[in-house]
Amino acid sequence: MNVPANRSYADLHEHLRRLDKAGLLYKIDTPVNKDTEMHPLVRWQFRGGILEKDRKAFLFTNIIDSKGRRYDIPVVVGAFAANPEIYRIGMNVDRLDDIGPTWARAIANPIAPNVVTNAPCHEVVIQGQALEGTGNGLESLPIPISTPGFDAAPFLTATCVVTRDPDTGVQNMGTYRGHLKSPTRLGMMMFTGMRQGGYEHWKKYQARGEKMPVAIVVGCPPVVGFQGPQKLPLGIDEISVAGGIAGSPINVVRGLTVDLYVPAESEVVIEGFVDPEYLEPEGPFGESHGYVALEEYNFCVEVSTITRRKDAVLTSIISQVTPSESSVVKRLAYEPLYLAHLRDHLSIKGVVRVAMHEPLTNLRRFVVLQFARGTPRTEVWRALNGTLALQSSVGKFVIAVDEDIDPASPDSVWWAMSYRCNPSEDTQIVRYRERGHGPRSSAQSQFDSAMLVDATMKHPMPPLALPKREYMENAKALWERLGLPPLRPESPWYGYSLGDWDDEWDNNALAATRGDWMDRDESYRQRKRNDVAPNSSSRITK
């Protein structure tokens, strides 16, 4: 699809048209209650046994709330990463395998934004008295309740929150939840233990005794929207990285009441100021780690203005229990980021792939490293320890496996741990780790720990006891000719050598498949012995 000549990236409207053309968008024109029905409806495609490739974005055009109010702004859920293909389209790359290199190039080669004075996000301006009163301001936006039955209010979720370092002037963009409290007030949660840019900036404003300006973007070009969940080093301007992904500058415009620059093609922008002194109760809210975050003291924002496009589409994201839209976003960005960290930055030899377990555990807890066969154990252990160094919240169980093990399959990983790992020799506990992103309670210890596991082969092993590949492939063709149910092969689906195997046994097995197994009876008779114990290897010599 063509985009306007002054930019090379798609805005949200163009992205939705691309999804529709690809068959990845449901349009829901039936009235849907944003407070009780919207997120539960979309949630079913993550908890209803639907394959990942069949998940889609949902565009709601007829939105009501529990008080009967109707909204004139559509809401889209799942438009950033309901499945990897949606994310690929948003990244504007041809293949899923291009995502990692595209991120790496963009981080290494950011492109500064292009400042404009007229922007779609300023087509409608709401400020002053127009912000206040029932049904106005934040209350006029169709913000859904993410976890009905537990959440204390509607929450902003798919946000790109822009703040600025008052010392350096460098902006930061992060995804922080926003608890709606009144037409002009919202609570905001910024993690204090994960070195989030917004929190680091707030501390500087607090020391100055000044309110921190903030611009909360809700809906924007996907190449920009993907920046919020990505964890980049402090001091990097995410909008410039978005430009690196797009291959050209992102158009930005200065806020009307805050000295911050936001994407010009944003759908909705909420400008305001964060109190530097007082915190307020915020939550409960169903968090992305899969548990309800209980009420706690967090930041409060006074809204100064709301701007939006005339044809604005509000974005919301499915998070909470994984798999979710938020975990797909992180997985597709984090896995290549960690591979580049180990292979390129630490120069570790033999590492092939990094996989983060997604269902229920939310990526950060189980990290599996896949190695080429024969990788020295010193490199394996360098990688296990190096994984803990990139982000303090990632890596509670880090497991190394061989190349024949599917790191995305827990069954395969447990299999490797069962037969290729001696816990007394091949595990290590790392103490005094940050507790990281997860449920919090007063009963918890201040610190966490990590377990490193080397589940790679330390010596040759007998072959995997499944028929060789050619026999399984022939049987699959027969299965299909018989009209049996469609197959989805699960790794491993054929047998292969793991080093402890020789040509004589291979020849004997081939002869057996030809029906010639009886020809060896005399050789067995000649090899009889009376000086060995049962279960002794036939390789022993006198």
pLDDT tens for each residue of 452-500: 999 999 999 999 888 999 999 999 999 999 999 999 998 899 999 999 9
Task: For residue range 362-390, list pLDDT tens digits in order.
Answer: 888 999 999 999 999 999 999 999 999 98
Which residue has tokens 């079913």?
A: 44
Put the strands of the sheet holding 448-454 in their side by side order. 351-356, 366-371, 397-402, 448-454, 427-433
Residue 485 burial by CB count (10 A; 0-12/13-18/19+): exposed, middle or buried?
A: exposed
Residues 6+ positions from 57 with CB-CB distance below 8 Å: 16, 19, 24, 25, 26, 76, 77, 78, 79, 82, 86
Which residue has tokens 């990094």?
A: 354
Residue 463: CB atoms within 10 A of its CB come to 16
Report the relative pairing of strands 251-254 and 212-218 from DSSP bridges. unpaired
Rounded to the nearest 10 degrees, the angle between the axes of helix 99-108 and helix 84-91 is: 40
**Mean model confidence pLDDT for the chain:** 92
Residues 6+ positions from 120 with CB-CB distance below 8 Å: 11, 264, 265, 266, 309
- Residue 26: predicted pLDDT: 97
d(CA 319, CA 321): 6
What does the block give as tokens for 458? 């330390």
- Residue 235: predicted pLDDT: 80
pTM of the predicted model, to two decimals? Answer: 0.87
Q: What does the buried/exposed string (b/e) look like for 108-146 if buried means 16 or more CB atoms within 10 Å of the residue's CB?
A: eebbebeeeeebbbbeeebeeeebeeeeebbbbbbbbbb
Residue 379: CB atoms within 10 A of its CB come to 20
Closest-CA residue to 230 (of 170, 174, 172): 174
Task: For residue range 120-177, list pLDDT tens digits in order.
Answer: 999 999 999 999 999 999 999 999 999 999 999 999 999 999 999 999 999 999 999 9
Which residue has tokens 């044809």?
A: 311
| Confidence category of residue 1, pLDDT binned at 50, 70, 90 | very low
- Helix, strand or coil, per DSSP, at residue 256: coil
Task: For residue range 249-301, list pLDDT tens digits in order.
Answer: 999 999 999 999 999 999 999 999 999 999 999 999 998 888 899 999 999 99
- What does the pLDDT average to over 498-508? 93
What does the block give as tokens for 243? 């430009």
> Residue 333 pLDDT more than 90?
no
Residue 241 burial by CB count (10 A; 0-12/13-18/19+): exposed, middle or buried?
A: buried
Which residue has tokens 């993907």?
A: 226
All structural domains of the chain: 99-316 (2.30.110.10), 346-454 (3.40.1670.10), 469-526 (no CATH)
